[in-house]
Amino acid sequence: MKTSRMAAWSVIVYASVAGWAFAGDVGDAAAPIDVPAEHWLNGGAVDPSKPGDTIYVVEFWATWCGPCKVSIPHLTEMQHKYAGKNVVIIGVTKDDPNNTWPMVQEFVKGQGKKMDYRVAYDRDGGVYEKYMDAFGQGGIPHAFVVDKQGRIAWHGHPMVEMDETIDKMLSGTYSVESFRKLNAAREAIKQYGELAAQDTYDATAARQVGEQVFAVGSDSRGIMFDLAKAIMELPNEERRDLELALRAARAAYDQGGDKDLFVLDIYAQALFASGDAKEALKIQRVAVTKCKDIATRTEFNKALQKYYKAASKG
């Protein structure tokens, strides 16, 4: 059974990779942060494209982005944690009408020590284009880890497996190929969503893709979170494979997800949808307690109240 699963998965992996239309790929040379010296905050200009003894994190964010605000304390913790290990974090933010230079300056100043890492203001969007656009990424926050050779070694959500990636890079155990495998799993998750959105829904085909993702990515918190989230966010609730969503969310939770706000939230959603309101309430309480961002905590609280009412009736 395992052999047939992996054979089927390999087809999806290579089909996904072959279908990528974007120029960027892990292993490529990183682009420099071409930002004038006066548009750097919390430290001077640095260049992740130059090989040396430093690992860089280039994270894209904006002042209006709620999830970005949630990530800021974590990035500060990481900068402090790795301060003596030649790891430098850079928060790059692109100009837009709701994210002007004065707005960015005011925001960073207001954050104080909560945002204790370098910030670069990308006025013309050139840095964004060379990283985000080149890799086909449109959502923020999104981070790129650049190795000591000046190459893109990893990219993804800054709160999902980035710490583990840097730890592996520092210990010499990180593999770009393993990232490619997991990135192909993310492409397969998109395929799962497309199958579930078709007018003629083939539950068996969707389940097969979902199981293949689980088989390959069950040891990845990020992949399991993405799979659970993709299922739970399907507009047609009747097409949500709750058994698979709960299994994936639990796997993400078991791999350090108890410290990840969004893993906690999706795990609670899957528990509640599966009929376990009491356990969903327990998990969501932890998410609410840990969340520092007001807007995100408000949304978490709404879910908490829903779970509380259901659990009280049960």
pLDDT digits (tens, 9 = 90+) for 213-240: 999 899 888 899 999 999 999 999 999 9
User: Do 69 and 126 touch, CB atoms closer than 8 A?
Assistant: no
- As to burial, measured by CB atoms within 10 angstroms (0-12 exposed, 13-18 middle, 19+ buried), residue 117 is buried
What's the mean pLDDT in 231-251?
96
Task: State the Cα–Cα distance between residues 57 and 51, nearest whole angstrom.
Answer: 14
pLDDT of residue 23: 63
Q: Range with the lowest mean pLDDT among 16-30, 85-99, 207-221?
A: 16-30
Task: State the Cα–Cα distance between residues 12 and 242, nearest whole angstrom.
Answer: 23
Position 18 pLDDT exceeds 50: no
The tens digit of pLDDT for each residue in 254-297 reads: 988 788 889 999 999 999 999 999 999 999 999 999 998 888 89
Task: State the Cα–Cα distance between residues 227 and 252, nearest whole angstrom.
Answer: 10
Task: State the Cα–Cα distance between residues 72 and 299, nearest whole angstrom.
Answer: 19
* pLDDT more than 90, % of the chain: 75
DSSP per-residue codes, 95-132: --TTS-HHHHHHHHHHHGGGG-SEEEEETTSHHHIIII
Position 14 pLDDT exceeds 70: no
Beta-bridge partners for 93: 61, 121
pLDDT of residue 258: 82
DSSP β-ladder status, 55-61 and 40-41 = unpaired
Domains (ranges, CATH) in the chain?
31-174 (3.40.30.10), 177-313 (1.25.40.10)
pLDDT of residue 11: 38
pLDDT of residue 314: 66
Which of residues 195 and 186 earns the better pLDDT score? 195
Longest dimension (CA), the chain: 61
Q: Range with the lowest mean pLDDT among 60-64, 97-101, 165-169, 186-190?
A: 186-190
